[in-house]
Amino acid sequence: MRNVLISFALVSVAIPVEAKELMANDRYMCSWGAGTAARAQELKLSGVSLYAARQKLQAYPFTKSWMRMLAMGITEQTYDSKSHFKPEAIRKSFYEDCVKYKLARK
Cα separation, 36 vs 94, whole angstroms: 10
Contacts for 86 with CB less than 8 Å, ≥ 6 apart = 41
**Residue 10 above 70 pLDDT?**
no
DSSP for 45-88, written as a single string? HTT--HHHHHHHHHHS--SSTTHHHHHHHHHHHHHHS-----HH
CA 10/CA 69 separation, integer angstroms: 43
Predicted TM-score (pTM) of the model is 0.78
pLDDT tens profile 24-63: 999 999 999 999 999 999 999 999 999 999 999 999 999 9
